[in-house]
Amino acid sequence: MKVDANYRFIAAAQEVTARIAQRQQALAMYVTLVVSLLAALVALHPGDRVSSLPVEWLVLGFPVASICLACLNYKTERALTNLRSFMSTLERLDNAHEELPSYNTDPRWSQNANNARRFHDYASAILVGAGNLIAIAAVSKIYPDRVSGLSPIMWLTSAVAVACVLSLLLNPRLSYRP
């Protein structure tokens, strides 16, 4: 027995909603992780234990979190594009898109959705840039003797932050287009 196109469309629409929710959850996890790492850097303020603090390892958490957020955003955008392409195909069955409004087939609707979703990418890019910048500033101020501005860890953190910000800003180019 065949599954009606309406049921397939409903299932795809529910999947789109789930993917958008996952994208929001990934952003919330990123913020939580960055704030936790910053709190750990401050809590481990040097005292008598300066030589035993794992500052370098904590600093590496910032680029790792940034890479994860960029990858999760990429994955979600690809999944949304695939789902919306599928839904557009269903909307065009029997030329239904010529008689009914079609969210995924009519560029007026799909472009508006892409433009609105772009703000998520901007917010993510700002958070990644600011989170890494705050981390670099905090580490440089709290642990100046352990992590100089020229250390490989600081350069790695900076380079990964810039790459992730660029990736997040370019993510909208992957958005679905009818």
**Per-10-residue mean pLDDT for the chain, 178 residues long?**
84 95 95 95 71 76 96 94 93 90 87 86 96 92 76 91 96 82
Separation of alpha carbons 146 and 51, rounded Å:
9
For residue 1, the model assigns a pLDDT of: 62
Measured distance CA(43)–CA(143) in Å, rounded: 12
Helix-strand-coil split of the chain, %, nearest 5: 80, 0, 20
Question: Burial code of 30-51, b = ≥16 C-beta within 10 A, e = fewer?
Answer: beebbeebbeebeebeeeeeee
Spatial neighbors of 12 by CB under 8 A, at least 6 apart, are 83, 86, 87, 90
pLDDT at 143 (0 to 100): 84
Q: Which DSSP category does 177 fall into?
A: -
pTM of the model: 0.88
